[in-house]
């Protein structure tokens, strides 16, 4: 591991707008009368619901059990009664199954899981099972089950914690590292034990010097190294992070394990500490609620199932009319059409974009300026792929490696013709995946 991080190719420097919430300490959101918990909160198979209407539950009780290896369980955010099993607005603007818990106000924990305080001597397999049982996923936005990444089928020599938080506006990971540094570092050490490694590295963008300082105060105790990173979006993308810290390139179509690495988000690592040391499943997370239209942007610890409308209320409501509501950051987040969608395990941000910065442009023909090629961190050809998609030549876009696109949005950001490049690539990937599924069925 180099002491000087390498620069990955490309990337962009959007105005980060982090000052709106970076200095705001995490506040615990008050207990609500009810929570609407979306069932499918992980990449992979949705968990299988095991409660029915009328059941009483305690905080941390199982609501749904994992339904396969790439799946995680879901737990109750508070104690109360299962008052409905219905559909509610989901993060992709499609209705999704959810479980409504009407709170009893006691917020009493159930039996949950036994703490494993002597984690240094615990069986790594038992620790990994605990990560799975606690329902932990990639909390930076990916939602990929954490225990799956801890079961690589290739040799691993490096564990990296992703504390880059390179998306503009988001400061939830920053506040977590600053306020709960020990939890993050201890989580790194537990993850390292699971992988049979003697340490880990936490990568943090250099625009969070206070978080780097806090982490460094305790990192040595757990043989964890903290590495400052160049501020450049998308520094927190797995492949770019691995390259910056190790100089290794993940092959196209490959995974971090192909470069001997496992990458976990810092909030996921903190959730591992909660699961192992405190015996607590993942029922809450820190989320940034921000944007210029808000009266009081900040960071809150929300229970899963908290409606976005409540989050905006806590942030003081709006002072100017927003143009857009996003879940996540402005580069990779998803636009929402309902305030009833609720906080999930991977909700890193709730963002209101002001009218001035969300102007609607008309897409113009490509002028072949080459800017998109210059900024693409994956070294593919956005302009040509976009042309292939416009011509519905998805086979051609596949040959041009559209599947390697990490959907970072850097190309769309710099395109002077305002071409919907990222949307083209999402469409191409979906079409290619559908064609492959069809082929497999033959």
Annotated binding site for [4Fe-4S] cluster: 366, 369, 372, 376, 405, 408, 411, 415
Q: Using the rule CB under 6 A, is 425 a contact of ligand SF4?
A: yes
Are the CB atoms for 195 and 159 separated by under 8 Å?
yes
Near ligand SF4 by CB under 6 A, which window of 41-49, 58-66, 165-173, 399-407? 399-407
Measured CA to CA in angstroms, residue 267 lies from 161, 255, 280 at distances of 9, 21, 14
Q: Using the rule CB under 6 A, is 332 a contact of ligand SF4?
A: no
Helix, strand, coil proportions of the chain in percent (round to 5)?
30, 20, 45
Residue 9: Cβ within 10 Å count = 12
Closest separation in Å from C-beta 141 to ligand SF4: 15
Closest separation in Å from C-beta 416 to ligand SF4: 6
Identified binder of ligand SF4 from the candidate list 67, 151, 417, 423, rule CB under 6 A: 417
Collapsing DSSP to helix, strand or coil, 247 comes out as coil
Near ligand SF4 by CB under 6 A, which window of 13-21, 152-160, 211-219, 360-368? 360-368
Q: Using the rule CB under 6 A, is 405 a contact of ligand SF4?
A: yes
Q: Using the rule CB under 6 A, is 241 a contact of ligand SF4?
A: no
Q: Which is nearer to ligand SF4, 50 or 369 (CB)?
A: 369
- Binding-site positions: 366, 369, 372, 376, 405, 408, 411, 415
d(CA 289, CA 335): 14
Phi and psi (nearest 5°) for 355? -55, -40
* Residue ranges in 304-344 assigned as alpha helix (H): 308-314
Identified binder of ligand SF4 from the candidate list 49, 99, 160, 415, rule CB under 6 A: 415
Q: Using the rule CB under 6 A, is 113 a contact of ligand SF4?
A: no
Q: Using the rule CB under 6 A, is 408 a contact of ligand SF4?
A: yes
Q: Using the rule CB under 6 A, is 82 a contact of ligand SF4?
A: no
Q: Using the rule CB under 6 A, is 252 a contact of ligand SF4?
A: no
Q: Using the rule CB under 6 A, is 382 a contact of ligand SF4?
A: yes
Q: Which is nearer to ligand SF4, 160 or 411 (CB)?
A: 411
Are the CB atoms for 206 and 229 separated by under 8 Å?
yes
Identified binder of ligand SF4 from the candidate list 303, 419, 424, 429, rule CB under 6 A: 419
Tokens of 173: 């990971």
Near ligand SF4 by CB under 6 A, which window of 74-82, 218-226, 268-276, 409-417? 409-417
Are the CB atoms for 262 and 159 separated by under 8 Å?
yes
Q: The tokens 């479980």 sit on which residue?
A: 99
**DSSP states along 85-124:** EEEEE-TTSSEEEEEEEEE-S---B-S-------GGGS-H
Q: Using the rule CB under 6 A, is 407 a contact of ligand SF4?
A: yes
Q: Which is nearer to ligand SF4, 209 or 370 (CB)?
A: 370
Residue count of the chain: 442
Q: Which is nearer to ligand SF4, 269 or 326 (CB)?
A: 326
User: Which residues, 6 or more positions from 140, have their beta carbon under 8 angstroms from its beta carbon?
Assistant: 162, 165, 173, 236, 265, 267, 268, 346, 348
Are the CB atoms for 202 and 364 separated by under 8 Å?
no
Q: Which residues bind ligand SF4 (CB under 6 A)?
A: 366-372, 375-378, 380, 382-383, 386, 405-411, 414-417, 419, 421-422, 425
């Amino acid at each position: 591991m180099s002491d000087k991080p390498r620069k990955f190719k490309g990337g962009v420097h959007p105005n980060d707008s982090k000052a709106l919430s970076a200095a705001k300490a995490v506040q615990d959101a008050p207990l609500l009368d009810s929570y609407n918990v979306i069932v499918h909160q992980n990449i992979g198979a949705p968990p299988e619901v095991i409660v029915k209407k009328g059941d009483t539950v305690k905080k941390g009780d199982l609501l749904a059990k994992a339904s396969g290896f790439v799946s995680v369980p879901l737990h109750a955010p508070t104690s109360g009664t299962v008052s409905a099993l219905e559909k509610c607005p989901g993060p992709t603007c499609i209705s999704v199954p959810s479980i409504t818990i009407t709170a009893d106000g006691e917020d009493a924990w159930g039996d949950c899981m036994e703490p494993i305080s002597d984690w240094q001597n615990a069986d790594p397999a038992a620790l990994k099972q605990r990560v799975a049982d606690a329902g932990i996923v990639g909390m930076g936005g990916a939602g990929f089950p954490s225990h799956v990444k801890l079961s690589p089928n290739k040799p691993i020599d490096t564990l990296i914690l992703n504390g880059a938080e390179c998306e503009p506006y988001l400061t939830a990971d920053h506040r977590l590292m600053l306020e709960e540094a020990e939890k993050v570092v201890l989580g790194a050490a537990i993850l390292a034990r699971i992988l049979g490694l003697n340490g880990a590295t936490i990568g943090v963008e250099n625009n969070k010097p206070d978080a780097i300082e806090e982490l460094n105060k305790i990192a040595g105790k757990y043989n964890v190294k903290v590495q400052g990173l160049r501020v450049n979006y998308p520094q927190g993308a797995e492949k770019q992070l691995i390259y910056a810290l190790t100089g290794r390139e993940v092959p196209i179509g490959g995974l971090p394990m192909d470069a001997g690495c496992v990458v976990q988000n810092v909030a996921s690592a903190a959730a591992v500490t909660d699961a192992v040391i405190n015996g607590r499943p993942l029922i809450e997370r820190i989320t940034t609620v921000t944007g210029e239209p808000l009266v009081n942007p900040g960071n809150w610890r929300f229970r899963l199932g908290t409606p976005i409308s409540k989050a905006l209320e806590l942030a003081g409501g709006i002072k100017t009319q927003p143009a857009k509501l996003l879940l996540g950051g402005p580069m990779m987040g998803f636009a929402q059409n309902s305030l009833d969608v609720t906080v999930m395990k991977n909700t890193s941000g709730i963002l209101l974009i002001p009218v001035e910065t969300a102007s609607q442009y008309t897409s113009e023909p490509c002028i072949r300026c080459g800017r998109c090629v210059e900024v693409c961190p994956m070294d593919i050809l956005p302009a040509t792929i976009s042309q292939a998609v416009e011509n519905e030549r998805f086979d051609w876009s596949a040959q041009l490696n559209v599947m390697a696109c990490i959907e970072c949005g850097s190309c769309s950001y710099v395109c002077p013709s305002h071409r919907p490049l990222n949307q083209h690539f999402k469409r191409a990937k979906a079409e290619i995946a559908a064609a492959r599924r069809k082929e497999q069925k033959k």
